[in-house]
Chains A and B, each alone.
Chain A
Amino acid sequence: MLLRLAGLALAAVAAMFAALLVGGTSLSVHDVATSLLHPKTASTTATIVWQLRLPRVCDVAFVGAALAVAGVLLQGLLRNPLVDPYLTGVSAGAAAAIAIALLAGTSVVATPAIGFAAGLGTAVLVAALARRGSGLDTQRLILAGVSLSAFFSAIVALAIFRAQSAGYASAIIAWLAGSPAGRTWHDIAICLPYAALAGVLILPSVPALNVLRIGELQARSAGVDIARTQWLILAAAALLTACSVELAGMIGFVGLIVPHVGRRIVGTDARALLPACALIGIALTVLADAASRTLVAPAELPLGVLLAFVGVPVFLYLYLRGNRNR
């Protein structure tokens, strides 16, 4: 197991390094390695690596890890393999708030923060609707998440419709398609404390997540405080998803699919699955972002769109083949 995790860690680091090589200007392995080792050097290569590519690669790696971990948490909590982090309502709420803000004339620079706040606000609303007793009703959580997401998507559609004449539609659509363009170290620094808080919430939930694999009733009998675990996991997943929304807009697919790939590699034990999925999420998202920057350079493909186009068919092939072989 440790060997597999080490292999995944190596793959994630290799993907991040490879992503530093490609872009508008191709850099050699030697140049990138030198720049990384000597950050104070004043050269064009160092500027490209430290000011442009590394922040972006770290941004995307952060998003990949956050969405993958949020996916593992929610799929484990709800015992439903079709759940993805956006079920928390975070992305739909963020999208609607950003669409309205852009329509109202707010600067594009402010959208990540608006998305973060609105996303978390929506997650609280979803949780309030799903509340039953001291815990959460998992069926109701899914229903509330799906319903509110549909409602907010309608607001976004209406905003795009209204915005066409005003010329803001492209900004909204760019956000919906998902892109880390324009994010800096500053954006990553803003998100770090929230991700750290999510980590603090996740740690005490890991053994409980493992016991939940045997079903909620038996897990309760084995001593799992179901209500506390539900709140911890939902809060952690909402924080991580809100961070990803702040750092790259809407990136679908990662939170849904990476947990499935992770289970195939390391099994279902949350102690191994969570780090494994974080690493797979990093490798996958960073490579996809590198491709999105180079395929139609100097233009960029939206990261979310590229991930869906390439990732979904590959996943379906792997997953369906695996199931038939069972």
Chain B
Amino acid sequence: MIRVRGVALDIDSRRLLCGLNFDAPTHEIVAIIGPNGVGKTTLLRAIAAQHPVGGGEILVDGANVASFSAVERARRIAFLAADETVGEALAVREVVAAGRYPHHRWWEWREGSDDAAAIAGALAEVGMESFRDRLFSSLSSGERRNVWIALALAQATPVLVLDEPTTHLDVHVAQRMLALLRRLARSGKTVLCALHDLNEAAAYADRIVLLGNGTMRAAGPPEAVLSSSLLDETYATSMERLHLADGTLRVFARSYPPGEAG
């Protein structure tokens, strides 16, 4: 369970976000949405204790994330950045194995059977078992994304914080990824992710946190947060809501700038 209480975030002494108050309970997927540059990544980094908060506190299972040592933090929270390159010639398995670092003491240099099982399980979860010996640099960007997710899974943490986990993935793989995240959440993890695709958020998130204009505009179930007026205002775009036959909510932009097209 993550609790965000009165959090303010600064970038280079400039206040980026303030007044953030929301919970991300266990067993749920919480999606952070909002326009480009609003501070989604900074918020996720703060939750993963990789960016200092300018005010308020972020609690993971009741403990302030700022109080964790590096290893304690990595045993509780796996954070996946939106885009990270690997300069060295590493095999896929070596990249995923980095997720086992917090489960070793500094003198334990050898991989144990539990490490091997965690790495193999993580690669299987994202359907990359057959890629284990391939060079990471030879993979497509979507495949690399899967490897990073596998690393986060190998870390075996109760909390997953993912920045745009479906970027670079085609529709099929993205759906599979989101289904996997939902399965992980249902199995007892807390999953928090930034998403650009509002329909992915509508379909898979249990709760949505909408950021805009330097603050939290709304937080709650998709039906409540994805209201036309809120989205219109936040994205400065005229948005349309639609319910499919099965009751699923879909939102899409009608025109841009409002009223000019169509």
Contacts and interface: CB of A to CB of B under 8 A. Distances in A.
A218 interface: yes
A217 B81 contact: yes
A207 interface: yes
Given A217-B81, A223-B74, A211 B88 contact: no
Interface in B56-81: 69-71, 73-75, 77-81
Interface in B100-149: 101-102, 104, 106-109, 148
Contacts of B87: 79, 213, 215
A248 B255 CA distance: 73
A225 interface: yes
Contacts of A222: 74, 98-99, 101-102, 151, 155
Interface in B149-201: 151, 155
A215 B80 CA distance: 12
Given A221-B50, A221-B78, A223-B73, A268 B104 contact: no
Contacts of A215: 84-87
A219 B79 CA distance: 10
Contact of B88 (A208, A217, A219, A268): A268
A220 B98 contact: no
B147 to A, nearest CB: 10
B95 interface: yes
Contact of B84 (A211, A218, A225, A271): A218
B86 A213 contact: yes
A219 B89 contact: no
A203 interface: yes
B48 interface: yes
Contacts of B84: 214-215, 217-218
A212 to B, nearest CB: 9
B71 A223 contact: yes
B88 A213 contact: yes
Contact of A220 (B70, B94, B108): B70
Contacts of A224: 70, 101
Contacts of B79: 221
A218 B151 CA distance: 9
A222 B86 CA distance: 15
A223 B75 contact: yes
A225 B69 contact: yes
Contacts of B89: 267-268
Contacts of A124: none
B180 to A, nearest CB: 19
Given A221-B81, A271-B109, A213 B102 contact: no
Contacts of A210: 98
B224 interface: no
A204 interface: yes
B253 interface: no
B50 A217 contact: yes
B41 to A, nearest CB: 11
A214 B71 contact: no
User: Range of interface residues on chain B?
Assistant: 20 to 34
A214 B74 CA distance: 15
A218 B73 CA distance: 13
A206 interface: yes
A271 to B, nearest CB: 6
Given A206-B109, A214-B90, A214-B98, A220 B148 contact: no
Contacts of A218: 80-81, 84, 98, 148, 151
Interface in A240-271: 267-269, 271
Interface in A188-220: 203-204, 206-208, 210-211, 213-215, 217-220
A322 B86 CA distance: 20
A162 to B, nearest CB: 44
B94 A213 contact: yes
A211 to B, nearest CB: 5
Contacts of B108: 207
Given A211-B101, A218-B81, A218-B151, A223 B90 contact: no
A214 B79 CA distance: 14
Interface in A217-235: 217-226
A223 B154 CA distance: 13
Contacts of B48: 221
Given A214-B90, A218-B81, A222-B102, 10 more contacts: A203-B106, A214-B84, A215-B84, A218-B80, A221-B74, A222-B74, A223-B75, A223-B101, A225-B70, A268-B90
Interface of B: 48, 50, 69-71, 73-75, 77-81, 84-90, 94-95, 98-99, 101-102, 104, 106-109, 148, 151, 155
25 contacts: A79-B88, A204-B107, A208-B101, A210-B98, A211-B98, A211-B101, A213-B86, A213-B94, A214-B151, A215-B84, A215-B85, A217-B84, A218-B84, A218-B98, A221-B80, A222-B74, A222-B99, A222-B151, A222-B155, A223-B71, A223-B73, A223-B102, A225-B69, A268-B89, A268-B90
